[in-house]
Amino acid sequence: MAIERTLSIIKPDATEGNHIGDILGMVEKAGLKIIAMKMMHLSQAQAEAFYAVHAERPFFGELTEFMRRSPVVVSVLEGENAVATYREVMGATNPANADEGTIRKAFAKDVGENSVHGSDSQENAAIEIAFFFPASQLPCAPLFHGARRARRPPGVAAQLGGRAGPAHADGPGGPRPPHRLAAGPAASP
């Protein structure tokens, strides 16, 4: 099985209903890891650009207006067969046809207000993730099940002062100091 990434959007009907935590819990229970997430209010331009594939459909205006109504939670999910896994967790587009235990069966109001969006293919996942998250906001590669750390993508080494080795390796000036949290109040023994 392949480790993949997919995009998730918790839509306005679900954020308005305070279902964010419940939905994220279902995602994690399905074995998917949330590797990037943000809450945002889509602009008209963002909603229209993201759903441009539906521009000629009669529901386009209603869809983009709905997606701008309230904040959405956009996240990148990672795991084995993430696209198919998340689509299974989401359930059918029409909540009346969704299986019990799916997000849409539990929280969606109807076909138009169906609580969540998920990528439908690996190719679209890559496009959709890039729409909301620049590469600098994402981990370089999956770190599942003891996977080796990925090498930096081409071009990143130059931006990082020539460090072309593994993403967390020592730099050209020798070993990096260990990461330390800022010192807080002393703990009592």
| End-to-end Cα separation, the chain, in angstroms | 47
What's the CA gap between 87 and 103, in Å, rounded? Answer: 10
CB-CB contact of 33 with 78 (8 Å): yes
Which residue of the set 41, 54, 117, 168 is catalytic?
117
CB-CB contact of 81 with 69 (8 Å): no
7 phi-psi bin (left φ>0, alpha ψ -120 to 50, beta other)? beta
DSSP 144-181: -TTPPPPBPPTTHHHHTTT--SBTTS-BTTBPPPPP-P
Catalytic site residue 117? yes
Residue 24: partners with Cβ closer than 8 Å, 6 or more residues away: 10, 34, 73, 75
Give all strands (DSSP E) within 55-131, no chain letters: 72-80, 116-118
Bridge partners for 171 per DSSP:
174
Please give the positions annotated as active site. 117
